A and B are shown apart, each in its own frame.
Chain A
Amino acid sequence: MKTARLAEWMDRHSGPIFVLPAVLLILAFSIFPLVISAWLALSQFRLGIGGYEIRFVGLLNFKKLLTGSQQFHFLGTFAEIPLLGWLIVALVFGTLAVAAGRYVTLGRVSVIGVVGRLISFTLIGALAVLFATTLGGQIGSLSTTLFYVIVGVTLQFLVGTGLAFLCAQNIRGRSFFRLVFFVPLMVTPVGTAYTFRMLADTTVGPFAPIWGWLGLGNFAWAADPWTARLVIVLGDSWQWIPFIFIVMLAAFESQPRDQVEAAQVDGASTFQIFRDITWPSVAPVAATVVLIRVIEAFKIVDLPNVLTNGGPGIATESLTLHAFIEWRALNLGGSAAIAYLLLFVATVLCVSFVNMIVVPMRRSRQ
């Protein structure tokens, strides 16, 4: 009798029961730590006799990172803007101006939309300026992370989509390529990092003869900031191109064939077909897959930690690695402050991406 009543009660409240495990887990291991972390970011942690002491210091940790003693580490060292810096700034501001113009002329202006865009545009503009002004000096962990995200995801998206497009053609051995191309995703990032360290060795690595032939036998890529960053981006790309590949392949394969065939009969070129039929139908998936990759790319830590140990100097340190190093030095407050700034930048950029690219793309398809 009792079990029947319990079952009935459970059925009536099935909604909350279904959702509760997930909500409890997120509360306990995401929201709750997030609140504590906020408090940690505002305090100073000190080891004392017989324990530790946590003292409230307000925004001191953030101040150190943005304008104080840690500025060179987080933001970088400022210098005169090189030509490339001007180009980047011009490009970013031009894009922002176009986006703002289109938003206003499209006539769907709302208060939330304007405020949201003000926040996004300000942050994106500020990041571009920061990147440009530190490019001549030394870029900090914030700009390094952005470099990994932007260059890495762009490379991964282009190569992954290209391979998926080729594999979606009517060719033999498709299932073989599909399986092989998926493999790097399964290698642990730590393993990928060590593998790339072996491969990139200029004296005993497999490409040593090529390095020697190019006269670069003694070239230490790990000692030059930009080549070190590039090797990390390459390792990250090797690892994650499979993810974009497999999702885009499914997108290409699921598009309706009859339109493509009709266009082929009409004599349209492959490029025309891709531009006018294929791309519009896969664009929403492309936006989603880029979003997923961007979200994950902000958390990059394994590769720089293992491949270069953040070096030379701090050149390859991502924000997560920076926070980890501060934690290891028992600077818990500073570590939490870095983590919070990472969360802020990642959230604003991801939400902007969703609102300004993913959502309009889906809307235009419907």
Chain B
Amino acid sequence: MRIFEPKAVGTMAPATKLVVYGILGLWTLIVLFPLYWVLITSFKLPIHVFDGPNYLPFIDFLPSLHAWRYIFFDLGRDTFRPYGNSLIVAATSTALAVTAGALAAYALSRIEFRPRLLSIGVFLLVMSAAIVAVALSGADWRIAAASGVALFVLAARATRRLPSPQLGNAEILFWMISQRILPPVVTVVPIYVMLQQAGLLDTRTALVLTYTTVNLPIVVWLMYDFFISIPRELEESAAIDGASRFRIFREIVLPLAKPGLVATALLVFILAWNEYLLALFLSTVKAQTIPLLVAAQNATRGPQWWYMSVLITIMILPVIALTILLQRFIAKGLLLGALKG
């Protein structure tokens, strides 16, 4: 038997197969071992963590539920509140980001927009003036914003007849997607001040709004490529039959785009569920999310590994369940965009 040559065209030689399975098996270990370590640490007493590596429950150490009891009963409400916050914030912001992003991506893939460069310039000018007014003279930001919008509408009407270069859909799309390059740390301090002014600091609303904005570019990016790849004949015939664009979107486009929507939503949910930096800036107690609670277990007495492990475990479980549930969408959904290129 020759082990270095394939039996037939298109199959692997036994030796190659062994190497391939060896590598895949090794990587499975690399992926699962850290998670295994987290799981068993959640059942260890502090002494079992500190008296050297203990690998196997019941053999190397006697598992204990003390950490689980502490997180679920002693800490009780202080665990469930952040957990609930995380769930609500991640789910709501995902729903909002996918809705707003899919609507925008669809419109950009079907309707031609021609915003005038002049109007955008006027808008930026008015906005900067409003910011300077608020910052220097301490004017009320609501009044400044309202008068700014009024000024912009007047100016836009006045300059309507003037010649100006126009932008196209490609520019709008690039503008939206490029927002993802923006590191959150650039905008988070002003957002902090804004939310403080609006009395929204340390609320779930604040987190929902910022997470939605931060994840919006991803949705636009992935869904635009998805919508472009959907044939338009159905929509066109529905439009001839007199269906409105909203109805076409709801009844024809959405069902076709379902795999892409589900996969995008899953990715955005994972990102929002795990987000740390914005939550660190914008929430303290009431709106605290689970990643912050995990980080908080690094107490003055040193990291409380056992509590931390419980929290990490209960954080991963819902996402894994969701992924298994939605697995068939991930393969074809998330990737079509990237594949179309």
Contact = CB atoms under 8 A, between A and B. Distances in A.
A169 B12 contact: yes
A306 B295 contact: yes
B245 A14 contact: yes
A320 B185 contact: yes
A362 interface: yes
A124 interface: no
A208 B249 CA distance: 58
B5 to A, nearest CB: 12
Interface centre among A29, A170, A189, A265 (most CB of B within 10 A): A29
Contact of A10 (B32, B41, B246): B246
B194 A33 contact: yes
Interface stretch (A18-26, A61-69, A102-110, A114-122): A18-26
Interface string A291-321: 0000100110110001000000000000110
Interface in A1-27: 7, 10-11, 14-15, 18-19, 21-23, 25-26
A151 interface: no
Contacts of A167: 24
Interface in A152-186: 162-163, 166-167, 169-171, 175, 177-186
Given A19-B103, A332-B189, A339-B183, A285 B339 contact: yes
Secondary structure call for the A interface: helix
B319 interface: yes
B341 A288 contact: yes
Contacts, number: 288
A195 B332 CA distance: 31
A93 interface: no
Interface stretch (B68-76, B156-164, B228-236, B272-280): B272-280
Contact of A301 (B103, B277, B303): B277
Contacts of A182: 323, 330
Nearest to A298: B183
Interface residues of A, number: 98
Interface residues of B, number: 102
Nearest to B10: A264
A183 B31 contact: yes
A30 B213 contact: yes
Contact of B338 (A10, A179, A247): A247
Contacts of B339: 250-251, 254, 285
B82 interface: no
A195 B38 contact: yes
A184 B291 CA distance: 15
Interface stretch (A130-138, A198-206, A219-227): A198-206
Contacts of A179: 323-324, 327
Contact of B312 (A22, A188, A342): A188
Given A19-B104, A187-B316, A327-B189, A170 B246 contact: no
Contacts of A362: 341
Nearest to A24: B100
A171 B17 contact: yes
B24 A40 contact: no
A181 B127 CA distance: 47
Given A179-B327, A208-B53, A34 B187 contact: yes
Contacts of A23: 104
Q: Which 5 A-B pairs have the closest CB atoms?
A: A18-B107, A250-B335, A33-B190, A33-B187, A22-B104
24 contacts: A10-B244, A14-B245, A14-B246, A15-B107, A29-B209, A30-B187, A36-B135, A166-B24, A167-B24, A171-B17, A177-B28, A179-B327, A181-B28, A187-B274, A187-B312, A187-B316, A191-B38, A195-B35, A198-B38, A238-B31, A265-B9, A336-B189, A343-B183, A350-B181
